[in-house]
């Protein structure tokens, strides 16, 4: 079953979101720092790395640093977090972290003091480089406090100008819909101006916390059962697969705004919604939820009417 949902309202919202990334330039208020994410930021050229010309000072100033992660010990770091720790605080140049295939069982944090980081896997083996952990909201930290949804993330990104390609972000918790504290985030993105290209984000409940900032997800795969895309960000999802694993009821997205003046929301363009269960396209999370689908294919799993409204506030929700 295919629905083509589009209109002037979507164009207006996309313009207001300003998330039509060209992968050429993203504006910045800091004039002396890099102000764009380019296609080169997703690539590693090992030939150029091996032919470093010490006399080419101008080129060296623009060259990205590359850190290699290999769990077998043949790189600069055994772990992804170890590679991130090698990046200097407040760096102003792109740092590419090339992660060789393997399952990296670790919890990863990129703090806001480390912008301009790329996580890059092997483009010919996009499902072979996996960062995986298994925390859920009801788990407790070393001090005995519950983690909560926010801190359950396997990978947390708080820095600006982040990008990733050919990486799988995974939370292996299998959520019980009737259970308590089963929220288990695979990826939390809280930095501004981020791009995800051909990544996989796997989980069940609350898979992707699209928290704050402006983000672009392109040709990526996102899997879950309940609210597997949620947050308060301003994001465009283009040519993505949204895979439901729900046994019964579920929902793709839940967006939140604190007021109608907030210029945020989720736009899904030319995406595919497929899988199992009987799911909603979107669920209101607070008073001013805003979610748009355009030119998307929907498998026969969408429950009528498609949107789950919150009681007493349906007049201020925005779905389309």
Confidence category of residue 283, pLDDT binned at 50, 70, 90 = confident
**Helix%, strand%, coil% for the chain, nearest 5:** 15, 35, 50
The answer to whether residue 56 is domain-embedded is: no
- Predicted confidence (pLDDT) at residue 240 exceeds the cutoff of 60: yes
- The pLDDT of residue 15 is 38
Report pLDDT digits (tens) over 134-176: 999 999 999 999 999 999 999 999 999 999 999 999 999 998 8
Confidence category of residue 193, pLDDT binned at 50, 70, 90 = very high
Confidence category of residue 49, pLDDT binned at 50, 70, 90 = low
Report pLDDT digits (tens) over 54-104: 444 444 445 679 999 999 999 999 999 999 999 999 999 999 999 999 999
Quote the CA–CA distance of 13 and 15 in Å, as a whole number. 5
The answer to whether residue 96 is domain-embedded is: yes
The answer to whether residue 44 is domain-embedded is: yes
Q: Is the CB of residue 261 less than 8 Å from the CB of residue 45?
A: no
The answer to whether residue 25 is domain-embedded is: yes
Q: Which two tokens stand for residue 51?
A: 């032919």
Q: Which of 297, 294, 299, 292 is nearest to 319 (CA)?
A: 292
Confidence category of residue 14, pLDDT binned at 50, 70, 90 = very low
The answer to whether residue 57 is domain-embedded is: no
The answer to whether residue 140 is domain-embedded is: yes
The number of distinct structural domains making up the chain is 1
The answer to whether residue 55 is domain-embedded is: no
> Could you list the active site residues?
227
Average pLDDT score over residue span 11-15: 37
Could you tell me the residue range of the domain that residue 168 belongs to? 8-50+64-319
Q: Give me the percent of the chain exceeding a pLDDT of 90.
A: 67
User: Looking at 30-39, 102-111, 245-254, 299-308, which range is the least confident one?
Assistant: 30-39
Q: Is the CB of residue 97 less than 8 Å from the CB of residue 120?
A: yes
CATH code, domain with 155: 2.160.20.10
115: left (phi over 0), alpha (psi -120 to 50) or beta: beta
The answer to whether residue 224 is domain-embedded is: yes
Instruction: Supply the mean pLDDT for the chain.
Output: 85
Q: What is the pTM of this model?
A: 0.86
């Amino acid at each position: 079953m295919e629905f083509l949902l589009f209109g002037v309202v979507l164009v207006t919202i996309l313009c207001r979101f300003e998330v039509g990334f060209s992968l050429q330039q993203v504006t910045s208020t800091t004039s002396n720092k890099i102000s764009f994410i380019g296609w080169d930021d997703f690539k590693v050229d090992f030939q150029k790395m091996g032919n470093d010309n010490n006399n080419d000072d101008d080129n060296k100033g623009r060259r990205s640093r590359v850190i290699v992660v290999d769990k077998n010990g043949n790189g600069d770091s055994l772990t992804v977090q170890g590679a991130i720790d090698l990046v200097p605080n407040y760096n102003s140049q792109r740092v590419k972290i090339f992660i060789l295939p393997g399952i990296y069982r670790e919890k990863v944090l990129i703090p806001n003091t480390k912008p301009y980081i790329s996580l890059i896997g092997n483009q010919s083996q996009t499902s072979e480089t996996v960062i995986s952990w298994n925390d859920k909201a009801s788990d407790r930290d070393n001090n005995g406090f519950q983690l909560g949804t926010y801190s359950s993330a396997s990978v947390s990104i708080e820095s600006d100008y982040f990008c990733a390609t050919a990486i799988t972000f995974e939370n292996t918790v299998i959520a019980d819909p009737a259970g308590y504290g089963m929220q288990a985030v695979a990826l939390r993105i809280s930095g501004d101006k981020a791009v995800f290209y051909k990544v996989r984000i796997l989980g069940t409940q609350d898979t992707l916390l699209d928290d704050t900032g402006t983000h672009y997800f392109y040709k990526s795969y996102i899997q879950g059962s309940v609210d597997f895309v949620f947050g308060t960000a301003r994001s465009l999802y283009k040519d993505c697969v949204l895979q439901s694993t729900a046994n019964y009821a579920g929902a793709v997205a839940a967006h939140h705004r604190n007021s109608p003046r907030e210029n945020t929301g989720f736009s899904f363009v030319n995406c595919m919604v497929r899988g199992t269960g009987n799911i909603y396209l979107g669920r209101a999370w607070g008073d001013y939820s805003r979610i748009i689908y355009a030119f998307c294919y929907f498998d026969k799993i969408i429950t009528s009417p498609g949107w789950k409204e919150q009681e007493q506030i349906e007049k201020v929700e925005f779905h389309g």
